[in-house]
Amino acid sequence: MAERKMQKDVVIVGGGPAGLAAAVRLYDKGVKDILILERESKLGGILRQCIHDGFGLTRFGETLSGPEYAKRFIDETLKRNIPYITDTTVINVTPEKLVIAAHADGLIEVQAKAVILTMGCRERTRGALAIPGTRPAGILTAGVAQSYINLHNRMPGREIVILGSGDIGMIMARRLTLEGAHVIGVFEVMPIPSGLPRNIEQCLHDYDIPLSLSHTVSDIKGTDRLESVTISEVDEHLQPIPGTEKEYPCDTLILSVGLIPENELTIGAGAVMDDHTKGPVVDEFCQTSVPGLFAAGNVLHVHDLVDFVSLEAEALADGAAAYVQEGSLPACNIPINCGANVGHTIPQKITGARDFQLSLRVRKPIENAVIRVMDGDREIARRKVRKALPAEMIQFTVKAKYLTDVSELIVSAE
């Protein structure tokens, strides 16, 4: 079995939008000894299967499909001849930044000065939800269904029930309908939809697909293939209400019930994790608690807009370049914590000496929201958002000049 051992300044795990944006920026900052490791056979990440448009509105002022947005960054990567290997799965990253990857030709070991984690996220599954019933074929997560249709030219089924009003589920409701399937309905366990209003309008209302809030799948029937699902109304504790069961014959159940940053490698490297984001705790350089280990994109926290992913990855690259060129980065000892109505913030620690980009999500919809960044009683920054939604990440710059002598920042939304 062939083995390859090498040394690189930077290894990037994952050649999707975050990894590619980081690679291009790193190169342009003078760090050229890079290696991108990508587990699929092509670069581009999840964008390859997101063929609908709406990508790049802020970045390029155009509404592109996922593959077109990815192509912009793939072209820049190829133009600079930045080395990459596909069909390679990273299986371990040590705290000393040794990256071990599996390829059909054998193991690859790369000792890096800095490692950039841009592995993206995966989908929550039926097993994680513990939906009772039999286990026939025909139960897929929305991203898998999207991959079947858009990459492999396979229809998952014809009579579809969708559980979860996440954006991917709604996008797939439209995709399946356009290809001739009948989407019976979208069922959401919460009392409010989890995806964007734009998608409810253009993916569900446009095609007369009903959306039922406060409902969930309480049983599944079928031996070899799915034959029906049972839908129940749920109470305020999200538990099925007995007596409200309704059975829907169908051959496919699509699950769009949450995205989880894919952090096995991050945990293996010893990085401290944030329970709110399910990603690593990072500072304003996107550096984790392990020096020289950085993270950006969906692996850090799930994004709604790839335009923001690119920005985040470029900010990371600035930090990683400085790390490689100078050997270390300034200490980030000032914590940022969540106050009222804020679910999470990125970063969680700052120097307090530089401007930084703050990202956050609110826990519930708030009209005319005021986002406040406070140090004790002192207001450091404030932002007004007309309609703050959990489904829409909020990002703004906090200026260094307001950060003198801060000791702890709390971000809240009212």
Partner 1 sequence: MNREITCIVCPNGCTLNIDFEKNGDGKTSVTSVRGNLCPRGRDYAVQEMESPMRTIASSVLVTGGELPLASVRTNAPIPKERIFDVMKEVRKVTVAAPVSAGDVIIKDVLGLGVDIIATKDVF
The site for partner 1 (CB under 8 A) is made up of 48, 51-53, 63-65, 67-68, 71, 149-153, 178-179, 197-198, 201-202, 206, 386-387, 392
- The secondary structure element, H or E, covering residue 92 is strand 88-93
| Interacting residues of 373 by C-beta distance below 8 A, sequence separation 6+ | 358, 379, 380, 381, 382, 398, 409, 410, 411
Of 384 and 401, which CB lies nearer to partner 1 in the complex structure?
A: 384
Minimum separation from the CB atom of position 180 to partner 1 (A):
9
At residue 305, φ and ψ (nearest 5 deg) are: -120, 125
Cβ proximity of 56 and 62 under 8 Å:
yes
Of 64 and 189, which CB lies nearer to partner 1 in the complex structure?
A: 64
Helix (H, G, I), strand (E, B) or coil at 286: coil
Structure tokens at 214: 């406060």
Of 64 and 93, which CB lies nearer to partner 1 in the complex structure?
A: 64
- As a whole number of angstroms, the distance between CA 131 and CA 156 comes to 20
Work out the number of other CB atoms within 10 angstroms of the CB of residue 365: 14
Minimum separation from the CB atom of position 67 to partner 1 (A):
4
Minimum separation from the CB atom of position 364 to partner 1 (A):
16
Minimum separation from the CB atom of position 346 to partner 1 (A):
19
Pairing of strands 349-350, 279-280: unpaired
Minimum separation from the CB atom of position 358 to partner 1 (A):
17
- As a whole number of angstroms, the distance between CA 396 and CA 233 comes to 39
Of 207 and 225, which CB lies nearer to partner 1 in the complex structure?
A: 207
Of 333 and 368, which CB lies nearer to partner 1 in the complex structure?
A: 368
The one-character DSSP state at 204 is I
Of 63 and 404, which CB lies nearer to partner 1 in the complex structure?
A: 63
| Residues in the chain, overall count | 414
Minimum separation from the CB atom of position 87 to partner 1 (A):
13
Cβ proximity of 372 and 412 under 8 Å:
yes
Pairing of strands 366-375, 378-388: antiparallel
Of 78 and 340, which CB lies nearer to partner 1 in the complex structure?
A: 78
Structure tokens at 335: 């914590």
Minimum separation from the CB atom of position 341 to partner 1 (A):
18
Partners of 345 in the beta sheet? 360
Minimum separation from the CB atom of position 197 to partner 1 (A):
4
| Interacting residues of 153 by C-beta distance below 8 A, sequence separation 6+ | none
Of 69 and 294, which CB lies nearer to partner 1 in the complex structure?
A: 69
